[in-house]
Amino acid sequence: MNEAGHPSADAVKAARKRGRPRGFDIDRAVDAASDLFRARGYDRVTLGDLTGAMEINPPSFYAAFGSKALLFKHIADAYAADWLTALRAAFDEAPALDRALRRIILDAARRFAWREGEAGGWGGCLILEAANNCSDALVVAHIRKARLTVAAALYRGISREAPDRVVALTDHVMLLLAGLSAMARDGTGDERLAAAARQAARGLSLDDRVE
């Protein structure tokens, strides 16, 4: 156990090897859990929901994942890591800041778009939506850290070309991302969400070239 009372990462890895039922597909199980968290939010997903979706019993769940909180953190970390890679690539590959910001906003609309999963439909950003009104203080702190990491990546990228505007632009982009996520969560269709993203990108442009 760590200081927070959760199993350590090494303990979870060891338990996973011991606790997987024969034929258990851990990647499919994680995907099923991700669908549940995104469709219902962290607090509304029960252990029964998770074990039912994974087709395992509670002891096997705890052996494989340690706890509901640890599983959610794993999913959130993977989601954030993938998004951070895309953010950094946008700043590295775009020829100008306005192009990078356009790419980030349009990519967010695609990432947040409504999808149908086995747990029901869901839309929005996992780290902006799934832990809203969460009662687990440790999960809230972890998600807050993930959000700050995204904001830090934006800050670093923007500061390369607009150091005098970096705070305002970073805050503005985070605000736009939160808005797109909320629209997607509420079921806004793909075309309308993409149109909103394009309009937002125009507002962030440093010239008139964004279409």
- CATH for 72-204 is 1.10.357.10
Inter-axis angle of helices 68-93 and 97-112, nearest 10: 150
Q: What is the pLDDT along the chain (211 residues), one digit of tens a residue?
A: 444 444 445 544 544 444 555 668 899 999 999 999 988 889 999 999 999 999 999 999 999 999 999 999 999 999 999 999 999 999 999 999 999 999 999 999 999 998 876 666 789 999 998 788 899 999 999 999 999 999 999 999 999 999 999 999 999 999 999 999 999 999 999 999 999 999 999 887 655 444 4
CATH 1.10.10 range(s) for the chain read 9-70
Sequence ranges of the chain with CATH classification 1.10.357.10: 72-204
- For 90, the token pair is 């946008």
Mention the CATH class of domain 9-70: mainly alpha
Q: In the chain, at which residue ranges do the beta strands (DSSP E only) sit?
A: 115-117, 120-122
| CA atoms 63, 66, 70, 72: torsion sign | positive
Q: Token pair 């252990």 is at which residue?
A: 47
- Residue 66 burial class via C-beta count within 10 angstroms: exposed 0-12, middle 13-18, buried 19 and up: buried
